[in-house]
Amino acid sequence: MNRRRFFKNGSLVALGSALINPFQSTAETLDFSSTFKNKKAKNIIFLVSDGMSTGTLNMADLYLNRTYGKGSNWLQLYKDNKVSRALMDTASASSIVTDSAAGSSSWGGGFRVPNGALNVSESGEHHLPLWQKFKKAGKKAGCVTTVPITHATPAGFCVNSESRGSQAEIAEMYLDLGFDVLMGGGDNYFSASKRKDQKDLYAAFTAKGYQVVHSRTTFEKITLDKPILGVFDQDALPYYVDRMHDEQLQKEIPSLAEMAQIAIDNMKDHPKGFVLQIESGKVDWAAHANDVAGLIHEQIQFDEAIKVALDFAEKNQETLVIITTDHGNANPGILYGKEANTQFDSIQKYKHSNEWILNAIHADFSASGIQELVEKANGMALSEENAKTLLGYYTGLEKEDGGLYNFKKLPFKVFSEMQKKSNSVGWISMDHSADYVELAAYGPGSQLLKPFVQNTDLHYLMLAAAEVENKF
């Protein structure tokens, strides 16, 4: 699809102009056609909650409402009628169930590619990624994430690669392409001591004029006159719920919202504007693990980043903000039952992710030691029988458990089934789903959003909103 075709097929949606909401008289009705008509998006902020099923968005909103009396920033945008809203088809070229590489590439390159590839078609054709197009148009470009900065979703906006697994090579591509802000995890792909070729990419980025930061201490000293490479952990960043209950992690690791704010501050005064992708990547990882505390709090961390983006965009009025996910994952939901309210509220006592709990268990634990650990981390009474079942996975009595990001073969599924009996949260799987997903847009170009889109449509919408020709 080219830009001309997009304009021909696109519909100008004025959700607020023709409808009066009889149920919310206090909400201001926003007329998209008049507010943003004939305005160009100087800046674009694209927010991705990776692997977010609708149930994840729902549970995070309910959790926030029931814990703090105020729901999520994302759903508040719907309630206040501030955004255009759509459903999006997330399929890849090879499957109706996409992976994150093909999902991000559909936005990044404007074409569907096979799962596992980054902007490279099955025939080998390379599609120029969107952030490269915007760099050629003179804009600054950046990505921030809670997983390795070289991971599939940021890479899909930035590079071409036949394999998403080529993360060491992707780190070198970032250096050559000169993106302005790169923050997340991924020390394994930049450090000379961890790369197979022993190249010191940190030294290379520094020589090219980047500020290279590794901790909150250096993060807080970032100046806004130089590009930024921030790498804060070996692989992905720790789960937000674990960071919230660990003072040392709070000192070492910035939040997604804090990284987003620094990225915006670094690029906002550029005369030709900027483009920024913000990803909560461990929403997907938590869904793969059926890890309810990890999932809900990663979604909350993403929601805090939404506020940072919208606060800037509402003041700036030249910024298109897109909020979405690349695919569903595990399809969690709160199950019917007379104790559903109380049981779901028990998650408010969870101080740690299941990853933290299950990594803390070792073969020399006793059943009572596991019970004490779970009580401390979840506020949940685990039966002796269940404790012995868990212990069996560490002593070789039980078979290995599944989950994509489960390299230690921890018993994630078994433990989530134990939790379900007391928290009322169920899961349909430990993997991606083909769901149509939520999509919201605010700012210049949001009026171009149709009620139902394919993932590739967003590539052309962003070019059209920024009035950048698709000629590169």
**Is the per-residue pLDDT at 217 higher than 90?**
no
Listing from the earlier edge strand, what are the strands of the sheet with 319-324?
Answer: 211-213, 228-231, 181-185, 140-148, 274-280, 43-49, 319-324, 437-442, 84-89, 452-454
**Is the per-residue pLDDT at 221 higher than 90?**
no
Q: What is the pLDDT of residue 31?
A: 56
- Report the 3 state secondary structure along 240-289: HHHHHCCHHHHHHCCCHHHHHHHHHHHHCCCCCCEEEEEEECHHHHHHHC
Q: What is the pLDDT of residue 34?
A: 63
Place of tokens 């590439």: 105
DSSP secondary structure string for all residues of 348-401: GG--S-HHHHHHH--TT--HHHHHHHHHHHHS----HHHHHHHHHTTTTSSPPP
Model pLDDT for residues 82-98, shown as the tens digit of each residue: 999 999 999 999 999 99
Burial class (CB in 10 A: 0-12, 13-18, 19+), 217: exposed
Model pLDDT for residues 303-317, shown as the tens digit of each residue: 999 999 999 999 999
Q: What is the pLDDT of residue 26?
A: 38
Q: What is the pLDDT of residue 8?
A: 42
Place of tokens 């950048």: 468
Q: What is the pLDDT of residue 357?
A: 98
Model pLDDT for residues 256-282, shown as the tens digit of each residue: 999 999 999 999 999 999 999 999 999
Q: What is the pLDDT of residue 408?
A: 85
Q: 433: which 2 tokens?
A: 């789903």
